[in-house]
């Protein structure tokens, strides 16, 4: 029994949704949900949570490449079977968390992880660099301006000591998105690595009629740079589009809508660095990341310019910021002009915004007071 | 499918961080199409450009989302990745797994697909990377029949909702993010699988203002836990912190010598509302001035806890920059009880009021935050049937351009120019 292509709708099951989460809880989690009192990071990568029942759960956090194979997941399962009664979880930032219910079970787990080469680095807690959230890049995406897994690997190799220690002023969240679509939501990260294009789209007049709804392609441009135009293909006039190059801001939205307008280019594409974003509402409101380095080349396979830039920013911050201060809070306290100076980043007009929103008077924080206005 | 030379990728096998290249090579020993993944990626490293074609509409019968079509632009060189479609499988809330479940899923994926995954995608789904079109229906059959699992969202629909780990292992979650996420995910299966929206729509659920799933930055409706009574203080534990017996911030700064803990400097002075002070050896908080930012609670988790009258703030409209620029979510409902007892009635009513309006007026590929901008926050508040309150804005408007309605102005807009000129010569 299995799928029968002759009767595709017969026996079909749909709309099941995800399995109920509670069936996957380790027993200590199931028994103490909603009863946790406090927690402590015992060493980098190892957390202890204390319940009002007196129970404790010890969590060992391990970084991963996110891109992982079935064989690798089975190895994770082997570890969880050996130490965690067959349970584990993943975090939002692509870490694995192995949980045990007693302190004496932690060291054997750590020893096992350490015995497996560089596959299971323990860390990513507290005032350090945790894993990079990132996108697909060249392994799977059709719009990227850079790779994802490669730059992440070389940056994390360089910052490894900050993953396995807690010596920074606060946590530093690094994210990578391989184009401006930002599937990786890098717009609110302490340090963001962003793939960008710098050449306007080419127009494939031979293909555009077959693959593209011209009005959608024209409407896709936020700056009205894509216009209706005629073109000659094999001696015949066809309806196509043209691009007013000086209006193009290289967002790539036209290519998303129209496969006949490719943007990618080995020399045009590369990486921009943005800094100072944050998501949490602690102390200051959430902030967007700000563009400080407009372009670094895609020098494969090791992206040395990107690695150096990220490290330089991180270490200037580590040296200068106050305890608890996030990168963006530090930059605002010292002033952006001092930020550029301390990070040894040349300031260019590319960091001056000429594309703006008028919505900045709306409140974008959970911080508010319960005054008489709330009924 | 033979092994290809990969001199560029091979350079990504050293170093202390886990190597995806080594992992892929290992998998290729039993799944030779993975050699072609490595081969095409190597070509991208050489050419410094992607080798995937634009799009390709594939799916399973009856669903309009959950599968992303992908084809190689060099299939002759790398036939193993000629089709390389992504399958999004809805993840269990907070990404807890049993190894039994994960092993079964991996067996299924090796049977039908490439054996390569992302654990997880940015929106939270289990991402299964790379299979042929003819494998989609058989995989879906086995996923639903053998595992009782389902696809997630893609396209202009409700994307797979996501939550923080919440009360399962965190003392700060102010509502049950997992149950809320699970309940709404099941409640809105049709909206997840059958695209009917102007564009994508995301829910994210965080238990407190630390916002571990980045709800405020990347979800159209962000539900973020908070409370409306007083921070619970254990004064004995405060004394322990002051005495240096408990590590600050749960031990997060233990790798550097920051000097002895200083409650004035590290807690009181960093409070954004300056609503805390010491009276003798007791910590006092003027809770009505507190904006619940979590800083003091983060720093002294054994002494301070969120209040007991808990719920969530509901914010609307976050998105990444494409097209008009990035937006954070805007605070619309400061406090809402989020409870299973009434099956999340209030939250569901809120969501559906947004959808009813947005589905009618939203333009093609316009996120709800952009529609809000286009019509203005004032109008959005009216559509939601809410009273305008200052909690919805950061600052009052800085221009005088008020759209007064005729009925708001004494005497209305109709005036007689002749009568006016009789008194005021031109």
3-state secondary structure B219-262: CCEEEEEEECCCCEECHHHHHHHHCCCCCHHHHCCCCCCCCCCC
Q: Which residues of A28-58 are buried (b: 16+ CB within 10 A; e: fewer)?
A: bbeebbeebbbbbbbbbbbbbbbbeeebbbb
CATH entry, B162-228+309-408, from 3.40.50.300, 3.30.413.10, 3.90.1640.30, 3.30.70.640: 3.30.413.10
> Rounded to a whole number, what is the distance in Å from the CA of B245 to chain A's nearest CA?
13
- Give me chain A's average pLDDT, please: 95
Read off the pLDDT of residues B96-145 as tens digits, 9 standing for 90 and up.
Answer: 999 999 999 999 999 999 999 999 999 999 999 999 999 999 999 999 99
- 0.90 surpassed by complex ipTM: yes
Largest interatomic CA distance in chain A:
82
Output A356 or B337, whichever has higher pLDDT. Answer: B337
Could you tell me the two tokens for A136? Answer: 């697909």
End-to-end CA distance of chain B, in Å?
89
Size of interface A-B (CB pairs under 8 A): 481
Q: Give the count of beta carbons closer than 10 Å to the beta carbon of residue A344.
A: 10
Could you tell me the two tokens for B109? Answer: 């994926």
In the stretch 406-425 of chain B, residues with CB closer than 8 A to chain A read none
Residues 6+ apart with CB under 8 A from B328: A188, A286, A288, A364, A365, B216, B217, B315, B318
Does residue B333 contact residue B385 with C-beta atoms inside 8 Å? no
Of A37, A140, A150, Cβ closest to residue B129: A140
Is A55 an interface residue toward B (CB < 8 Å)?
Answer: no
> Rounded to a whole number, what is the distance in Å from the CA of B424 to chain A's nearest CA?
39
| pLDDT exceeds 60 at position A356 | no
| B215/B203 Cα distance (integer angstroms) | 8
CA distances from A261 to A147, A198, A203, A264 (A): 20, 14, 5, 10
Does residue A168 contact residue A162 with C-beta atoms inside 8 Å? yes
- Search chain B and give the residue with CA nearest A81: B99
Does residue B165 contact residue A47 with C-beta atoms inside 8 Å? no
- Search chain A and give the residue with CA nearest B43: A138
* Candidates B15, B21, B118, partner chain A, best to mutate (most A CBs within 10 A): B118
Q: Residue B200 phi/psi, 5° resolution?
A: -65, 155
Q: Give the count of beta carbons closer than 10 Å to the beta carbon of residue A119.
A: 21
Q: How long, in residues, is chain A? A: 375
pLDDT band for position A369 (50/70/90)?
Answer: confident
* Candidates A2, A12, A140, partner chain B, best to mutate (most B CBs within 10 A): A140
Among residues B321, B72, B11, which one has the least CA distance to residue A151?
B11
DSSP helix/strand/coil, A301:
coil
Among residues A248, A229, A227, which one has the least CA distance to residue A239?
A229
B7-145 in CATH: which number? 3.30.70.2500
Residues from chain B contacting residue A265 (CB–CB below 8 Å):
49
End-to-end CA distance of chain A, in Å?
58
Q: What is the DSSP letter of A287?
A: B
- Residue A74 burial class via C-beta count within 10 angstroms: exposed 0-12, middle 13-18, buried 19 and up: middle
- Search chain A and give the residue with CA nearest B293: A282
Is B116 an interface residue toward A (CB < 8 Å)?
Answer: yes
CA distances from B336 to A151, A169, A375, B310, B403 (A): 42, 34, 11, 9, 30
Residues from chain B contacting residue A5 (CB–CB below 8 Å):
137
Q: Do B102 and A73 touch (CB under 8 A)?
A: yes
Could you tell me the two tokens for A55? Answer: 């129970």
> Rounded to a whole number, what is the distance in Å from the CA of B361 to chain A's nearest CA?
17
Is A28 an interface residue toward B (CB < 8 Å)?
Answer: no
Is A280 an interface residue toward B (CB < 8 Å)?
Answer: yes
Does residue B383 contact residue B353 with C-beta atoms inside 8 Å? yes
Q: What is the DSSP letter of B319?
A: B
Please tell me the predicted confidence (pLDDT) of residue A358.
43
Alpha-helix runs per DSSP H in A88-132: 106-114
pTM as predicted? 0.95
| B424/A170 Cα distance (integer angstroms) | 68
- Helices A336-343 and A327-334 sit at what angle, rounded to 10 degrees? 110
Q: Which residues of A195-210 are buried (b: 16+ CB within 10 A; e: fewer)?
A: bbbbebbebbbeebee
Of A147, A357, A367, Cβ closest to residue B293: A367
Residues from chain B contacting residue A288 (CB–CB below 8 Å):
326, 328
* Candidates A89, A92, A186, partner chain B, best to mutate (most B CBs within 10 A): A92
Q: Residue B368 phi/psi, 5° resolution?
A: -60, -30
| B169/A34 Cα distance (integer angstroms) | 8
| pLDDT exceeds 80 at position A363 | no
| pLDDT exceeds 60 at position A366 | yes
Full pLDDT tens readout for chain B, 426 residues: 789 999 999 999 999 999 999 999 999 999 999 999 999 999 999 999 999 999 788 999 999 999 999 999 999 999 999 999 999 999 999 999 999 999 999 999 999 999 999 999 999 999 999 999 999 999 999 999 999 999 999 999 999 999 999 999 999 999 999 999 999 999 999 999 999 999 999 999 999 999 999 999 999 999 999 999 999 999 999 999 999 999 999 999 999 999 999 999 999 999 999 999 999 999 999 999 999 999 999 999 999 999 999 999 999 999 998 888 899 999 999 999 999 999 999 999 999 999 999 999 999 999 999 999 999 999 999 999 999 999 999 999 988 999 999 999 999 999 999 999 999 999
Average pLDDT over residues A43-54: 98
Q: What is the DSSP letter of A85?
A: T
Please tell me the predicted confidence (pLDDT) of residue A357.
59
Q: Do B145 and A13 touch (CB under 8 A)?
A: yes
Question: Based on C-alpha coordinates, what's the Rg of chain A?
Answer: 25
| A21/A18 Cα distance (integer angstroms) | 8
| A172/A324 Cα distance (integer angstroms) | 11
Q: What is the DSSP letter of A220?
A: T
DSSP helix/strand/coil, B39:
helix
Q: Do B256 and A301 touch (CB under 8 A)?
A: no
Does residue A261 contact residue A245 with C-beta atoms inside 8 Å? no
Q: Residue A134 phi/psi, 5° resolution?
A: -155, 180
Does residue B354 contact residue B221 with C-beta atoms inside 8 Å? yes
Is A263 an interface residue toward B (CB < 8 Å)?
Answer: no
Residues from chain B contacting residue A172 (CB–CB below 8 Å):
none
> Rounded to a whole number, what is the distance in Å from the CA of A344 to chain B's nearest CA?
25
Does residue B162 contact residue B212 with C-beta atoms inside 8 Å? no
Bridge-partner residues for A88, per DSSP? B97
Q: Do A283 and B270 touch (CB under 8 A)?
A: yes
Please tell me the predicted confidence (pLDDT) of residue A355.
76
Residues from chain A contacting residue B335 (CB–CB below 8 Å):
370, 374
| B113/A289 Cα distance (integer angstroms) | 37
Read off the pLDDT of residues A179-209 as tens digits, 9 standing for 90 and up.
Answer: 999 887 799 999 999 999 999 999 999 999 9
Torsion of CA B152, B154, B158, B164, to 10 degrees: 60
Q: Do A71 and B117 touch (CB under 8 A)?
A: no
Cα B289 → chain centroid? 29
B232-305 in CATH: which number? 3.30.70.20
Cα B112 → chain centroid? 30
Residues from chain A contacting residue B140 (CB–CB below 8 Å):
3
Q: Do B141 and A14 touch (CB under 8 A)?
A: no
Q: Do A153 and B190 touch (CB under 8 A)?
A: no
Instruction: Decide if B7-145 and B232-305 have a common fold.
Output: yes
Is B30 an interface residue toward A (CB < 8 Å)?
Answer: yes
Does residue B213 contact residue B299 with C-beta atoms inside 8 Å? no
Does residue A228 contact residue A210 with C-beta atoms inside 8 Å? no
| A156/A153 Cα distance (integer angstroms) | 5
Please name the helix (run of DSSP H) or strand (run of DSSP E) that holds residue B335, with its range, or none: strand B330-336
Residues from chain B contacting residue A271 (CB–CB below 8 Å):
none
Does residue A183 contact residue B122 with C-beta atoms inside 8 Å? yes
Read off the pLDDT of residues A289-340 as tens digits, 9 standing for 90 and up.
Answer: 999 999 999 999 999 999 999 999 999 999 999 999 999 999 999 988 999 9
Please name the helix (run of DSSP H) or strand (run of DSSP E) that holds residue A99, with its range, or none: strand A95-100
Q: How many CA atoms lie within 13 A of A365 on its CB side?
A: 24
Q: Do B387 and A373 touch (CB under 8 A)?
A: yes
Of B11, B130, B252, Cβ closest to residue A127: B252
Residues from chain A contacting residue B190 (CB–CB below 8 Å):
15
Residues 6+ apart with CB under 8 A from A331: A275, A276, A290, A339
For chain B, the structural domain boundaries read 7-145, 162-228+309-408, 232-305
Q: How long, in residues, is chain B? A: 426
> Rounded to a whole number, what is the distance in Å from the CA of B53 to chain A's nearest CA?
6
Read off the pLDDT of residues A102-123 as tens digits, 9 standing for 90 and up.
Answer: 999 999 999 999 999 999 999 9
Q: Do A374 and B391 touch (CB under 8 A)?
A: yes
Q: Can you count the helices (H) and strands (E) in chain A?
A: 11, 12
Is A49 an interface residue toward B (CB < 8 Å)?
Answer: yes
Is B79 an interface residue toward A (CB < 8 Å)?
Answer: no
CA distances from A82 to A64, A76, A97, A109, A357 (A): 19, 10, 14, 8, 54
């Amino acid at each position: 029994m299995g799928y029968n292509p002759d009767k595709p709708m017969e026996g079909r099951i749909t709309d099941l949704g995800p399995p109920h989460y509670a069936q996957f809880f380790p027993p200590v989690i199931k028994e103490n949900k909603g009863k946790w009192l406090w927690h402590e990071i015992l060493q980098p990568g190892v957390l202890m949570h204390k319940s009002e029942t007196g129970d404790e759960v010890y969590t060992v956090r391990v970084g991963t490449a996110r891109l992982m194979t079935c064989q690798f997941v089975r190895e994770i399962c082997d570890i969880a079977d050996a130490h965690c009664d067959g349970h584990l979880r993943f975090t939002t930032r692509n870490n694995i968390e192995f949980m045990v219910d007693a302190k004496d079970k932690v060291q054997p787990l750590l020893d096992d992880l350490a015995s497996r080469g560089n596959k299971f680095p323990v860390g990513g807690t507290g005032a350090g660099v945790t894993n990079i959230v990132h996108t697909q890049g060249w392994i799977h995406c059709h719009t990227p301006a850079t790779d994802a897994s490669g730059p992440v690997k070389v940056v994390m190799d360089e910052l490894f000591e900050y993953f396995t220690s807690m010596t920074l002023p606060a946590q530093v969240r690094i994210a990578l998105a391989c184009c401006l679509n930002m599937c990786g939501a890098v717009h609110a990260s302490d340090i963001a690595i962003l793939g960008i294009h710098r050449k306007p789209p080419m127009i494939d007049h031979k293909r555009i009629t077959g693959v593209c709804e011209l009005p959608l392609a024209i409407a896709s441009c936020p700056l009205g740079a894509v216009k209706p135009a005629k073109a000659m293909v094999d001696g015949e006039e066809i309806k196509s589009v043209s691009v007013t190059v000086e209006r193009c801001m290289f967002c790539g939205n036209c290519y998303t809508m129209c496969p006949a307008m490719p943007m990618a280019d080995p020399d045009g594409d590369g990486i921009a660095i943005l800094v100072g974003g944050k998501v949490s509402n602690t102390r200051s409101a959430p902030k967007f990341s700000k563009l400080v380095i407009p372009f670094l080349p895609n020098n494969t396979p090791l992206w040395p310019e990107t690695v150096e830039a990220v490290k330089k920013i991180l270490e200037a911050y580590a040296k200068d910021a106050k305890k608890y201060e996030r990168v963006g809070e530090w930059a605002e306290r010292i002033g952006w002009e001092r930020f550029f100076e301390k990070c040894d980043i040349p300031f260019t007009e590319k960091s001056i915004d000429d594309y703006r929103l008028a919505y900045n008077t709306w409140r974008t924080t959970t911080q508010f007071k319960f005054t008489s206005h709330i009924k | 499918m033979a092994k290809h030379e990969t001199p560029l990728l091979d350079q990504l096998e050293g170093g202390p961080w886990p190597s995806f290249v080594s992992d892929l090579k290992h998998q290729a020993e039993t799944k030779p199409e993975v050699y072609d993944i490595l081969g095409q990626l190597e070509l991208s490293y050489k050419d410094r450009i992607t080798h995937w074609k634009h799009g390709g509409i594939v799916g399973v019968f009856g669903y309009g989302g959950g599968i992303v079509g992908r084809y190689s632009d060099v299939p002759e060189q790398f036939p193993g990745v000629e089709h390389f479609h992504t399958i999004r499988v809805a993840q269990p809330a907070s990404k807890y797994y049993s190894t039994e479940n994960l092993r079964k899923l991996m067996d299924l994926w090796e049977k039908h697909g490439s054996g390569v995954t992302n654990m997880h995608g940015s929106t939270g789904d289990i991402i299964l990377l790379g299979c042929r079109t003819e494998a989609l229906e058989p995989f879906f059959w086995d996923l639903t029949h053998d595992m009782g699992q389902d696809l997630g969202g893609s396209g202009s629909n409700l994307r797979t909702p996501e939550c923080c780990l919440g009360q399962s292992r965190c003392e700060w979650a102010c509502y049950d993010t997992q149950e809320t996420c699970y309940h709404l995910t099941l409640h809105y299966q049709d909206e997840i699988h059958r695209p009917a929206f102007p564009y994508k729509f995301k829910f994210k659920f965080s238990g407190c203002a630390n916002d571990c799933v980045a709800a405020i930055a990347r979800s159209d409706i962000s539900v973020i836990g908070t409370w409306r009574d007083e921070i619970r203080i254990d004064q004995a534990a405060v004394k322990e912190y002051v005495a240096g017996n408990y590590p600050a911030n749960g031990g997060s700064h233990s790798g550097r010598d920051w000097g002895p803990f200083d409650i004035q400097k590290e807690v009181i002075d960093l409070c954004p509302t300056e609503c805390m002070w010491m009276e003798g050896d007791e910590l006092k908080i003027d809770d009505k001035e507190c904006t619940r930012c979590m800083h003091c609670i983060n720093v002294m988790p054994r002494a301070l806890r969120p209040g007991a009258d808990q719920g969530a703030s509901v914010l609307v409209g976050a998105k990444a920059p494409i097209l008009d620029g990035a937006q954070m979510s805007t605070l619309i409902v400061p406090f809402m009880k989020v409870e299973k007892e009434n099956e999340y009635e209030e939250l569901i009513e809120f969501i559906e009021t947004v959808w009813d309006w947005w589905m009618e007026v939203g333009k093609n590929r316009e996120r709800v935050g952009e529609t809000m901008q286009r019509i203005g926050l004032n109008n959005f508040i009216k559509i939601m049937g809410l009273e305008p309150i200052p909690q919805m804005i950061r600052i009052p408007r800085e221009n005088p351009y008020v759209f007064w309605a005729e009925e708001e102005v004494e005497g209305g807009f109709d005036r007689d120019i002749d009568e006016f000129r009789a008194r005021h010569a031109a």
